Amino acid sequence: MSDGFEAAEFIAGFIAESQEHLASANGHLLSAEEAVAKGKATPRQVRELFRSLHTIKGLAAMVGIEPIVDVAHAMESVLREADRAAGRLPAGSVELLLNGVRAIEHRVQALAEREPVAAAPSKLVDALNALRQEGGDGPAAALATSLAPELWAKLSPGERGQLVQGITEGRRGVVVEFVPTTARASEGINITSVRERAATVAEIVKVVPQSRQTTGESTGGLSFALIVLTSGSDSALMEATATTPEALTSIALTGLNAAPPVVDEGLPDDAILHRGVVRVEVSRLDEALERLSALVVTQFRITRTAAAMRTQGADVRALYQVIAENGRNLRDLRASIMRARMVSVAELLERIPLIVRGLSRATGKEARLSITTGRAELDKAVAERIFPAVVHLVRNAVDHALELPAERRAAGKPSTGLVSVACQQLSDSQLELTVSDDGRGVDAVAVARRAGAAVPTTDEGLLELLTRPGVSTKAEITTTSGRGVGMDVVKRIAVDELRGALSMRTVKGQGTTFSLRLPLSITIVDAFSFVCGGETFVVPVAMVEEIQEIDLAQTIRGPDRRKAPRDVPDRRRASRATDMIHRRGEAVPVLRLEEILGLVATDDPRRKAIIVRRNGDPFAFTVDRMLGQQEVVVRPIDDQLVRVHGVSGTTDLGDGRPTLVLDLVALGGRLVSDSAGALA
């Protein structure tokens, strides 16, 4: 064992831990900014900020990153003074503290990328040091409560201000006494689990450990007083803390505080909690998914082998039972691994408020952000790819769509514009994410003029123009937009890379909504396999709207085709036309997939039509027959030299041969308009 301390061994853990605390710090600072603007104290946010910065400083000192230590220490000093002032931040401090968080982020990122860490910015550190203010408890903290003196003495000035302010604003202050017992421990009920459950129904001000007399049930001689603020009922609090009515004591305001001063020890007693969380590198989860992918392919091979044995007369009924059971186990294993890879959409969007804040200041527009995600989650690989697209949409909403305050007031709108980001899970395999605004709407005439095209009459047509490379609704180039780069990136990520869908609704003078429909995962997906032109192909289930039989009597034939002779090297060069089928009162164009792919056509009268939708319009592909639905492992084709439009990857169905995974939406997008023109 080495006698020396190797800081490099802890760098990865430091980076992960710091990123979590920095994300939390940004959220608390933005929340504090709103309160400071209204002249309110923010004791809880100040305490949480202090906790995050104190942790980052300690970790940075442990691994020897002194520039981060210097910045964090300067910020910590400001927050300590604010905590002593009952959570009142000095004027102009939020902007400097945000700059401090950003400075630490840049240095953590440099460390992650193995680049030199810049020295602490001296001007920022000097400005933070200049903010340090003298002062005691604020007016809120000068009030006293009915809280027991021994508990009141345990509270820091900031915690006292938090408690008094909460009661003043109409919430109830309650002390919950939790006594650990052997019976509760056997049921998994301890102070950590109780604190986590209590946090869902109340705001915890402090958890104070207390000595108590040892009894038959409580052999440890210890209890915990949870000092909380709540707007809920006592029953909800008792259920969350596994206590009875006797364990609850109300807290009321009583007048001026005469308690002795308290020495501020920095972090509260409950700052370090043991949670049931294990931090795992993404590469390890990728490796587990790779192993699962191999098992899925093996399952296909076993199934094919069993089918071959059955055709030879072997009794394989017992083997099929084992295959079915193994298939269920694989589905359960896949669900478990995918859950481990999932990240919450709320976590994905945690930097959006900072982006909106910066854009508002840069453009002179007043913008309010609303984020609604619920408990929606995405595979980490999908989340990392879609985040730049969401950023583009949010930037466009603030910079292009929202009007200046004077213009909004003249139109009868509030001076502050609203940008909303919402997310909902549509199914087990698909999620919808929307970005909307209440701005001026998209001017179709201006977009058509800049694109050099006819004015579109539908939202789908307008979206097609907006997503063309180089098209921008901004007449001049600014630091935030106007270069025609953005919507084409959104389309490429959401549609081409993630095999999702992009749509838009816009109303002049009322606003615009962009909707992204995305797969939850892009590695192992549910897919339909089918045969066309003698070859087997796969298409993701999430891409297919419907599969139906083709009734030749109900098919409207296109112009006569010049059938390509079999000796033509490339049958894709033969002329094509579009048939039409009736589908619940609408005419749907049908493309023959074998012609598009240059395969030998068949005259099977029992052909199927796979119906997909692009920009709101349905169209179909004819195939010979469907084989079934199963989970497949998609291997993307990343090499630009072998990538083909309409082919998103390959898979193995157990026969050892690569099977193409088709992107029918992309494949037919450019063909439908050409074929429809030929039909006309």
Separation CA 30–CA 36 (nearest Å): 10
Separation CA 159–CA 423 (nearest Å): 35
Separation CA 282–CA 636 (nearest Å): 19
Structure tokens at 54: 């104190």
Q: What's 179's DSSP letter?
A: -
Burial class, 251, CB count within 10 angstroms (exposed 0-12 / middle 13-18 / buried 19+): buried
Q: Over range 425-432, report the average pLDDT.
A: 78
pLDDT over threshold 50, residue 133: no
pLDDT of the residue at 676 = 42
pLDDT of the residue at 418 = 93
**Tens of pLDDT, residues 531-581:** 988 889 999 887 888 888 886 656 766 554 444 444 434 444 444 556 787
Separation CA 43–CA 164 (nearest Å): 10
**CA geometry: angle at 564 spanning 561 and 569, to 5°?**
150
**Tens of pLDDT, residues 217-259:** 655 678 889 999 988 888 889 888 888 888 898 888 775 443 3
Separation CA 33–CA 44 (nearest Å): 13
pLDDT over 70 for what percent of the chain?
Answer: 80
Structure tokens at 393: 């949409």
pLDDT over threshold 60, residue 149: yes
- Per-range mean pLDDT, top range of 296-310, 542-556, 591-605, 657-671: 296-310
pLDDT over threshold 90, residue 437: yes
**Tens of pLDDT, residues 473-484:** 655 555 455 444
- Do residues 645 and 654 make contact, with C-beta atoms less than 8 angstroms apart? no
Burial class, 427, CB count within 10 angstroms (exposed 0-12 / middle 13-18 / buried 19+): exposed
pLDDT over threshold 50, residue 678: no
- Do residues 445 and 437 make contact, with C-beta atoms less than 8 angstroms apart? no
Structure tokens at 75: 């910020």
In the block, residue with structure tokens 């986590």:
196
Q: What is the biggest distance separating any 2 CA atoms in the chain, rounded to whole angstroms?
A: 101
Q: Over range 580-607, report the average pLDDT.
A: 79
Q: How many CB atoms lie within 10 A of CB 590?
A: 25
Best CA proximity match to 350, nearest among 381, 395, 391, 402: 391
| Confidence band for 675, pLDDT divided at 50, 70 and 90 | very low
349-519 has which fold? Heat Shock Protein 90 (3.30.565)
For the domain with range 7-130, which CATH number is right: 3.40.50.720, 1.20.120.160, 3.40.50.10610, 3.30.450.40?
A: 1.20.120.160
Best CA proximity match to 671, nearest among 614, 626, 624: 614
> In this structure, which long-range contacts are made by residues 550-559, counting pairs with CB atoms below 8 Å and at least 24 apart in sequence?
550/581, 550/590, 550/607, 550/608, 550/609, 550/622, 551/581, 552/605, 554/581, 554/582, 555/579, 555/580, 555/581, 555/590, 556/580, 556/581, 556/587, 558/675, 558/678, 558/679, 559/678, 559/679
524-679 has which fold? OB fold (Dihydrolipoamide Acetyltransferase, E2P) (2.40.50)
pLDDT of the residue at 256 = 47
Best CA proximity match to 221, nearest among 206, 231, 209: 209
pLDDT of the residue at 8 = 57
Burial class, 149, CB count within 10 angstroms (exposed 0-12 / middle 13-18 / buried 19+): exposed
Separation CA 343–CA 348 (nearest Å): 7
Q: What's 607's DSSP letter?
A: -
pLDDT over threshold 70, residue 142: no
For β-strands 555-556 and 579-583, DSSP reports them as antiparallel
Structure tokens at 395: 């930037």
Q: How many CB atoms lie within 10 A of CB 543?
A: 24
Burial class, 508, CB count within 10 angstroms (exposed 0-12 / middle 13-18 / buried 19+): exposed
Separation CA 281–CA 302 (nearest Å): 32
Strand order in the sheet with 625-633: 625-633, 524-532, 535-540, 658-662, 647-652, 635-636
Phi, psi of 271 (to 5 degrees): -65, -35
CATH number of 143-256: 3.30.70
Best CA proximity match to 524, nearest among 300, 305, 281: 300
CA distances (Å), 270 to each of 205, 227, 653, 673, in order? Answer: 10, 12, 54, 64
Burial class, 193, CB count within 10 angstroms (exposed 0-12 / middle 13-18 / buried 19+): middle
pLDDT over threshold 60, residue 33: yes
Average pLDDT, the chain: 78
- Answer with the residue of higher pLDDT: 13 or 571: 13
Structure tokens at 401: 């769509």
- Answer with the residue of higher pLDDT: 519 or 602: 519
Q: How many CB atoms lie within 10 A of CB 266?
A: 13
Structure tokens at 157: 């000035």
- Answer with the residue of higher pLDDT: 472 or 373: 373
Phi, psi of 26 (to 5 degrees): -60, -45
Question: DSSP letter string over 429-479?
Answer: SEEEEEEEE-SS---HHHHHHHHTSPPPSSHHHHHHHHTSTT--S-SS--S
Separation CA 222–CA 204 (nearest Å): 20
- Do residues 665 and 495 make contact, with C-beta atoms less than 8 angstroms apart? yes
Best CA proximity match to 667, nearest among 646, 639, 636: 646
Alpha carbon distance, N-terminus to C-terminus of the chain: 80
- Answer with the residue of higher pLDDT: 86 or 260: 86
Minimum mean pLDDT among 293-307, 371-385, 608-622, 642-656: which range? 642-656
pLDDT over threshold 90, residue 279: no
- Do residues 210 and 222 make contact, with C-beta atoms less than 8 angstroms apart? yes
